[in-house]
Structure 1
Amino acid sequence: MLLTKKMKYDLPQLSMAGTKINLVEEIKLLGLIIDRRLTFKAHITAQCKKAADIYKQLARAAKVTWGLNGEIVRTIYIAVVEPIMTYAASVWSEAVELEMNKKQLFSLQRGFAQKICKAYRTVSLTSALALSGLLPLDLRIQEAANLYKSKKLLSTDYLPPGKELERKVGYLDLPHPSTLTSTNYEFFENTNPLHTGSQIFTDGSKIEGKVGAALSWWEDGKEKLSETFGLHPSCTVFQSELYALHRATRLVSSSTDNKVNILSDSRSSLDLLRNPKLSHPLARSIKENIARVVCEGREIKMFWLRAHIGTAGNERADELAKTAALQSTFHDYDKVPLSYVRKKIREESHHHKQLLKKQQHISCWIVEKKEKLD
């Protein structure tokens, strides 16, 4: 296959061991059909056919007044059809701007949208999309492409100025599988207080678009010290909870206490630490701090407690975290989560969707005026 932008060119004559090699118009590579003009029409046609076969089976069961529920059809569309259509979208997403490709995509999506909202076949695509709450398929493909580029750091359009994306721990940076350990935790009940070791309560908070974390160190029923930390507004509550645990374990690592109990009301954070595999950078730092303490012959235990049940240390940590979120001017942690990038990409898609609606309304208004004048 020959790829060129030249209008006039001579076809190359290729041969191998005396056998002529013929040029082809398209090739299939890892499930992606690449044509000579890079229109990707053949690929879109093949993917639409694959998804249409699913639609035909749905059409037998999902009728207007009976059959599959609309939400079930929506789940099938989002979980099956969209992944089929967005496969390798970062390669061919620009091709959806071609009208011939848009027609194929919209023809496929119209059938699914009608099944979701239980509409008749005469309903237009625009109305069916509005009733079903689906995003136009061309915008959904652009979303998948932009998300891939953001993950691979090929684009920073959706990141705050000067900030970096929070990335998973690379395979080369992971410890050897034989050294992987899980960090277990226990359930702490306020009716059975701990009698040995110091206690560190951690918490995170996001309030009024601001994020903060805090820890409170208690000994003999009294607060010994407390620390507050500010996080970038793009961070999540989950990140703030993990960062609080990270600072708590680092504090224990630099101390000389033989036994310290760390208590958190974030079960999701503790469940992440229980997983032997390390993927989150903060989780990796926490487990490294714990391993350092254990190697020194000291003990560090993790506990989960219910929030807002009157535990003094937990209420104090919660108050400090909210104060840190509202008053902190310095960001101790500013890695942007992938969820923030997804949110920005979706906001851009909805903005384009609203612009298309306005253009359609204007076009309809112009047509009506012309008909009246005629």
Structure 2
Amino acid sequence: MANFCHRDLVAVMVQVHGEGPTEDMVLCSAYLPHDSAELPPTRELQELVRLAHRCVNWRVDQEDSLSDHRCIRFEIQGTAEIAQGFVRRNPKATDWDSFRRELEERLEVGRMKPSNIERLEDEVERIHRALTESFHQACPIRPWQESAWRTFCEELEALPQVARLRRVFSAGHAQGLGGIILPGGVAITQPDEILEHLIQVHFPDSVMQGEGMCSGVEWARLGEGRPIWGLASKIVTLDRLRWAVDSFEMYKSPGPDGIYTAFLRKGGPLLLHRLLPALRACLALGHVPGRWREVRVVFIPKPGKCTYDNAKAYRPISLSSFLLKTLERLVDRHIKEGVLTMNPISPSQHAYQAGRSTETALHSLVAKIERARERKEDTLAVFIDIEGAFDNTSFGTMEMAAASFGIEIPIIRWIAAMLRILGFSNEVKHLGVWLDRRLSWKKHITMQTNKVIMTYWACRRMFGNTWGLRPRIVKWIYTAIMLPQLAYAAVVWWTAMNKACHRKTVDRTGRLAMLGITGVLRTTPTSALEALLFLQPPHLHIKEVALISAARLRLQGRWREASSGHAAMLTADSDLRGLLSWGGDACGRRWHFQKSFKVNLGYGANQLGSDRKWTPPKGLVWSTDGSRIGNRAGAGIWSEGPSIARALGLDPHTTVLQAELAALKACAREILGRGDRGKKIYICSDSRRALRARLKNESCSRFVNDCTELMERVASRNQLEVVWTPGHAGILGNMEADELAKRRCLEVAPTEQNLVGVHIDFVKDMTWKRAERGVVERWRSGEGAKHTRTPFREPTKQLAETLEGLNRMKLRSLIRLITGHWPLASYLAKIGRGSDPTCPKCGLADENPHHLGTRCSGLDEIRWDVFGTTCIKDMYVDRDGIEGLYEFARRANILAPID
């Protein structure tokens, strides 16, 4: 009867005993609220009574239901429309060549100059119609029958890949919005009332208007109403527009206009030239077109809430037009490159700042607290919580704040917030990290560990001990979802891993995940599982993540070293400290919108695709290549036209990409040294990644910026084109440059001109290699896991990858055999489920996997068939493989399960 109960309706079944047979009676008690705006009975109750009269032919179905219940069937009289499936076009299935042709035909007609608001609205409408109609012509229709599945997929499309997978795994029962309790205690259940309340709470300055009553948004204009075309042309250029369009993901969820970013990226140059005057007109006229003012708002429940009966338990997600987002991104770029360079934001602000994150903010805060503790002082921190920062922002205050920075009036944004004061507390959650007065980190570690465990059990629905996701996927869930969640902001709390109690807490997550990967018994030693799967304990992973974060901040110049506390990490690591003393390659983001040289990634591919012979272009042709061998790196440049061959020695921390860029940089420097003018110059490289770095309009690398500046100097005097050529394809220039980079560079010492800053990728690679060596060293120096050490010498990545590739049943059996936690006589006696550990097949020794595989005389015939001998001295799975052991166990009939 619980299924019939509601918040305002309770139903019970009672038995009535009379003169005749016992009868069952259903009694209902309904609460009709007197304070409701709707007179009782409510709309739901009236609908229920009305539908009850239409139920006919109520019966118990005699058809077998394959359970201990019978199906109750009934029919509802009335007329109903046949539901139509939702029609959807999948943008990923679009024929983009057809889309581009259709779009060009539509854009060629109806062009007008948007000199006023009316013309701007018409132009935007034409562009929207051209994009939509071209998409409909080039993309097939696909019906979606299930609306719930459609909604679920639409919510996932806006998430990154890992977050998307985590949402799929952790999504429980869908949280329906059945009712909202107002601050006064009154409950509302009508959809229109709920929606209106949610809008009022999350958008307090909004005004409810009828359909078609939107008055639009117009910004203030300069010069007494005169359009500011000069400023608009400066902000919106073709190169910047192309950069803004390319900065969005291809298939990110669109706004109500249905325009995907892919439309803009695949539309070709004609679309960009058509959009350019429209975007400029929006700024110049101070007007946002009506088509772009439509915003789709979806309210999603916040995770971890105990109840969802108030508006604050939901988060609004707004989806607006990508055309408007493109304009916003251009204005943002203009502000950051303009007024914020002369009047920068306070260095204490870490949010929305390039190169800054929660790690830099936490590092700065914790460093101050640690310095105070060293001086035997107390730290009193005032944390200001901005409640509903984006919901409760005052327009006037934001305009005043933006004007104080010197931002032009037409592009002033609202930036202010309403604050409220919080009381004193001994612990506080700041940027997702729990801080206490002693910096013990106990609460943070406990809370974070519990979150990771909850994530694991949410994913656990996807696999069991013998079924579900393959072991490799479960391990990926552990390394890609659980460990990053556990190690969040580890750079400030890694010191807690020096205490055994905290190490034990976080290591629970690793053991839980390894049991899920393998499906073995809980008595299996953790050290054995870590060695076989080539994993390290979570507490060591936390230290490595903290080390990488500290190194990144140091290379960016944002790290303050100390002799104690969390900032002492780099001081204690002499190897990494010596590496970081070279200086970093990272720098502030720089923009290169207008390049004088060309980058051609298709020249070599077109040459090979025609006749398999590469023909050098006409002009001065230079070939470059970079290489890394062991701990040395080098670069080579070669040219047959001007007969030049140069070998460059590079620093030992140079990455392969940096070596390729060093070759390009040295080649440009060589050309400048020759003083060539008015020549047609081609620089050939076999590194697509290096050339793509040249194509980007933005860079955070000093090395890339220096290389770009040198090429700009060459292009200012000559006609320069950088082209891709395939490597190891028998091309003379590429072969000579490769030879110089690989061999002769080892004899050449690095020069000051070829100095390369340390890239964070090199630090990561160095740290992970040390972690891999640590897995082997811990197994060699460790104790315990006696049964595992008999057939297993040392961990290897190859063995771990082989084990991960097995199905769950086979992996489970092999791990149990290797570790000895298997239903053999010796193990059963040890756990109290047997009395005699002696091998029943020979009676000469205890029955364990090593004895059965090497010595048991009762299995000589099987051992001969599988291994080619009756007596094996030693058998190691990391040397001899796992197939022989599994085949022997299968034929010996010792794969019986135990749980």
TM-score range, shorter chain: 0.7 to 0.9
Cα contact 2:427–2:434 (8 A) shared by 1: yes
Question: Does the alignment pair 1:325 with 2:745?
Answer: yes
**SS of residue paired to 2:504:** helix
In structure 2, the partner of 1:73 is 474
- Is residue 2:723 matched to residue 1:303? yes
1:52 aligns with 2:453: yes
| Structure 1 residue aligned with 2:255 | none
Task: Give 2:702's match in structure 1, choosing from 271, 275, 281.
Answer: 281
Please say which of residues 30-39 and 245-254 is displaced more in the overlay.
245-254
Q: 1:352 to 1:196 in 2, by over 3 A?
A: closer
Cα distance change of structure 1 residues 207 and 108 upon mapping to structure 2, 3 Å threshold: closer
Question: Residue type of the partner of 1:170?
Answer: G
The one-letter code sitting in structure 2 at the alignment partner of 1:292 is R
- Residues 1:363 and 1:217: Cα distance change in structure 2 (over 3 Å): closer
- Following superposition of structure 1 onto structure 2, how do residues 1-374 of structure 1 map, counting pairs within 5 Å? 23-153=424-554, 154=559, 155=570, 157=574, 158-160=576-578, 163-171=581-589, 174-175=590-591, 179=594, 183-185=598-600, 186-188=602-604, 189=607, 191=613, 193-219=615-641, 224-254=643-673, 255-257=675-677, 258-296=679-717, 298-331=718-751, 332-350=754-772, 353=775, 356-357=778-779, 360-361=782-783
| Distance (whole Å) between structure 2 residues aligned to residue 9 and residue 261 of structure 1 | 65
Q: Deviation per CA, 1:258-304, whole angstroms, max 9, x where unpaired?
A: 210011111111122111111232221222122223333x2101111
Q: TM-score, normalised by structure 2?
A: 0.36
Q: CA deviation at 1:215?
A: 0.6
Give the counterpart letter for 1:260 in structure 2.
I
CA distance 1:299–1:53, change in 2 (3 Å): same
Code of the aligned partner of 1:224: S
Q: State the secondary structure of the residue aligned to 2:586.
A: coil
> How many Å separate the matches in 1 of 2:725 and 2:654?
23
User: Per-residue deviation at 1:356?
Assistant: 4.7
Q: Is the 8 A contact 1:182 1:273 kept in 2?
A: no
What is the one-letter code of the residue matched to 1:200?
W
Query: 2:536, 2:480 → 1: CA distance?
Result: 14
Change (3 A) 1:159 1:312: farther
Secondary structure at the counterpart of residue 93 of structure 1: helix
Q: Secondary structure at the residue paired with 1:152?
A: helix
Q: After TM superposition, give the deviation of residue 40 of structure 1 in Å.
A: 0.8
Letter in 1 for 2:431: L
Contact 1:202 1:215 in 2 (8 A): yes
Is 2:597–2:719's contact at 8 Å kept on the other side of the alignment?
no
- Higher RCO by CA contacts (8 Å cutoff, separation 6 or greater): 1
> CA contact under 8 A between 1:106 and 1:125: conserved in structure 2?
no
- Which digits, 9 at most, give the CA deviation of each residue in 1:106-134, with x for residues without a partner? 11221111112332333232222223222
> Does structure 1 retain, via aligned residues, the 8 Å contact 2:593–2:697?
no
Superposed displacement of residue 217, structure 1: 1.9
Query: Which consecutive unaligned segments of at least 5 residues does structure 1 have?
Result: 15-20, 365-374
Residue identity matched to 1:89: A
> Could you report, residue by residue, the CA deviation over 1:204-224 in whole angstroms, capped at 9, with x for unpaired residues?
1223532211111222xxx61
Give the equivalent residue in structure 2 for 1:367: none
Decide whether the 8 Å contact of 2:649 with 2:749 is kept in 1.
Answer: yes
Shift of 1:34: 0.7
Paired residues of 1:70 and 1:118 also in contact (CA < 8 A)? no
Q: CA separation in 1, counterparts of 2:661 and 2:460?
A: 47
**CA 1:362 to 1:272, structure 2 compared with 1: closer, same or farther past 3 Å?**
same
One-letter amino acid of the counterpart of residue 316, structure 1: E
How far apart, CA to CA, are the structure 2 residues paired with 1:65 and 1:142? Answer: 34
CA distance in 1 between counterparts of 2:598 and 2:637 reads: 20
Task: Tell me, yes or no, if the aligned pair for 1:206 and 1:325 is still in contact at 8 Å.
Answer: no
Q: Which stretch shifts more, 42-51 or 325-334?
A: 325-334
Q: Is contact 2:531-2:779 (8 Å) kept?
A: no
In structure 2, relative to structure 1, the CA distance for the partners of 1:352 and 1:217 (3 Å cut) is: closer
Equivalence for 1:368: none
> Deviation of residue 328 (structure 1)?
1.2
Give me the TM-score of the superposition, normalised by structure 1. Answer: 0.82
Uncovered stretches (5+) of structure 2, i.e. residues with no partner: 1-368, 383-421, 560-569, 787-899
Amino acid at match of 1:193: T
The structural deviation recorded for 1:246 is 0.8
1:84-141 CA-to-partner distances (Å, cap 9, x unmatched) read 1111111100012222212211112211111123323332322222232222100011
Structure 1 Cα separation of the partners of residues 504 and 547 of structure 2: 22
Task: Report the secondary structure of 1:141's partner residue.
Answer: helix
Structure 2 Cα separation of the partners of residues 260 and 140 of structure 1 = 49
Pair member with larger Rg: 2
Asked if 2 retains the 8 angstrom alpha-carbon contact of 1:213 and 1:324, the reply is no
Instruction: Work out the CA distance in 1 between the residues paired with 2:663 and 2:681.
Output: 15
Distance (whole Å) between structure 1 residues aligned to residue 534 and residue 618 of structure 2: 56
> How many aligned residue pairs are there?
349
Distance 2:509 2:663 in 1: 48
Instruction: Report deviation, 1:323.
Output: 2.8
Match of 2:794 in 1: none
Q: Distance in 2 between matches of 1:197 and 1:118?
A: 65
Structure 1 residue 361, shift from structure 2 partner:
1.1
CA distance in 1, matches of 2:431, 2:597: 37
CA distance 1:183–1:86, change in 2 (3 Å): farther
Q: Distance in 2 between matches of 1:236 and 1:5?
A: 41
* Post-superposition CA distance 1:149-185 (Å, at most 9, x none): 11122437315468424322313xx24x755789521
Structure-2 separation of matches of 1:113 and 1:181: 55
Distance 1:224 1:192, change over 3 A: same
Q: Which moved more, 1:336-345 or 1:84-93?
A: 336-345
The residue type paired with residue 130 of structure 1 is A
User: What secondary structure sits across from 2:640 in the alignment?
Assistant: strand
Task: Judge conservation of contact 1:218–1:224 (CA < 8 Å) in 2.
Answer: yes
Q: In 1, Cα distance between the equivalents of 2:456 and 2:448? A: 12
